Structure 1
Amino acid sequence: MKRILLIEDDEELAELTAAGLSDHGFDVEWTSNGHEGLNKARSVQPDAIIVDRMLPGLDGLGIIRALRNEEIQTPVLVLSGLSKVEDRVRGLRSGGDDYLTKPFALIELVARIEALLRRPADTRQTSLQVGALELDLIERTAKRNDREIDLLPREFRLLEYMMRRSEQLLTREMLLRDVWHYNFVPDTNLLNVHMGRLRHKVDRPGETPMIYNIRGAGFILRETAGRTAVAPMRALSH
């Protein structure tokens, strides 16, 4: 059972959140004070932390900065009523791994925590690069060489997932589970529609293709054209 440390001074919200997380199989420890929360983060060694931005004693960003200065890399999700872009950027640049604005749906909070817990320990990056393709995880921007790529939020998450796993075959099941958080494979062309839009944006006419469809298997993001990943080139389509 994964242990979650919840640092939230709104008692009613904390009780509802803790109960919901417990229903999804998490062991939740709750505190309402910033200083106490920081001490618990050090001592109980949670698998993930959910911290309110505004707290008595020590605010959420202060807690995160203190942990990162001590090289404690526990994944942290920031909860806040502040929803402006600059507020989200400040939360992430302070060392937070994710940022969720209030009010929020419990199912989304659970999905985000599950995603944080699936990440390898060495993925605390602010940017990703695969060949000419670059992704800024803070500003949420993408470009290929000097060309800006305008991505919708779901497209950004899909591309981030693929870039973290470049040269790997990504099945439909993996993509629907980890990007859409489905626990089953729905009978829908949802993935094909999004992937088609993403490929159109990433691979423009005249550019070397980077996203390939392995027919009947899944998709691959490749840094270099012409390399064989898991199937012969005749099985690839673009």
Structure 2
Amino acid sequence: MRVLVVEDDRRLAGLLVRGLAAENFVTDVEYNGLDGLWRAGEHAYDVIVLDVMLPGLNGYEVCGRLRAAQVWTPILMLTAMDSELDEAEGLDIGADDYLTKPFSYLVLVARLRALARRGATPRPAVLRAGDLELDPAMRTCRRGDTPIMLTAKEFAVLEFLLRHRDRVVSKAEIIAGVWDEAREPEPNLVEVYISSLRRKIDTPFGRRTIITVRGTGYRLGSREGLLA
């Protein structure tokens, strides 16, 4: 397995190289974000270990640029910041896993192997269906060049539909994916949010992106139709 480690702490980077070599990993190292970005884009790796706090470009910027360039190598981010917001930012921007320093070396190796088994499947940071775009990290939505203002719950419902685009999802699936179990709404509330989304992302643009599948649920198509 070939691994790229991007870590500015040279002592930690050296320990990782030696430890991974003992597990039969072939490891390359870069010590700043710019060099890490270049190497990750120019060479094929099974997985990338990416520190958050890097000189040049930080880990979030490196990860975001790789995903924007459609480099889908699995990325495990390392950080000394033990915060749910930090973890959420990394995952939203396209990282696959997250470890807080100090970490268990055994856990690191196990997660690297799991990521390598998953492979480099596309996981776009920006979700798209035609000219409709949703950026979970920046919390923005637009159709073409037109920004669309959404409430927090509208955003969450649209994100769920986009992550399952071209597939029919039931009201129960939407509720399970968007609402907290302790505040589970009535199924009819899903209809309210679907109607609201249509008024914002479809009707003004003459589109029909969210389709009702009678008796089953809803489907957001990657190739939207036009309103009659």
TM-score (norm 1): 0.54
CA distance in 2, matches of 1:76, 1:28: 14
CA distance in 2, matches of 1:85, 1:16: 27
1:119-134 equivalence runs, <5 A: 119-122=118-121, 124=123, 132-133=172-173
Asked whether 1:148 is paired with 2:185, we answer no
Question: How many residue pairs get matched?
Answer: 143
**What residue number does 2:43 align with?**
44
**What residue number does 1:18 align with?**
17
Name the Cα RMSD after superposition.
2.7
Question: What is the Cα deviation at residue 25 of structure 1?
Answer: 1.5
**Relative to 1, partners in 2 of residues 1:123 and 1:115: Cα closer, same or farther, differing over 3 Å?**
farther
CA distance in 2, matches of 1:144, 1:53: 28
Structure 1 unpaired stretches of 5+? 135-141, 150-238
**What residue number does 2:3 align with?**
4
**What residue number does 1:97 align with?**
96
Query: SS in structure 2 opposite 1:143?
Result: helix
**What residue number does 2:150 align with?**
none
> Which one-letter code corresponds to 2:96 in the other structure?
D
Question: What is the Cα deviation at residue 121 of structure 1?
Answer: 3.9
| Greater fraction of residues in helix | 2
1:20-169 equivalence runs, <5 A: 20-122=19-121, 124=123, 132-133=172-173, 143=176, 148=181
CA distance in 2, matches of 1:145, 1:68: 25
> Which one-letter code corresponds to 2:86 in the other structure?
D
Structure 2 unpaired stretches of 5+? 125-158, 183-228
**Relative to 1, partners in 2 of residues 1:15 and 1:144: Cα closer, same or farther, differing over 3 Å?**
closer
User: CA offsets, 1:70-121, max 9 Å, x none?
Assistant: 1111110100011111110001111111111000011100111111111154
Question: Alignment identity in percent?
Answer: 40
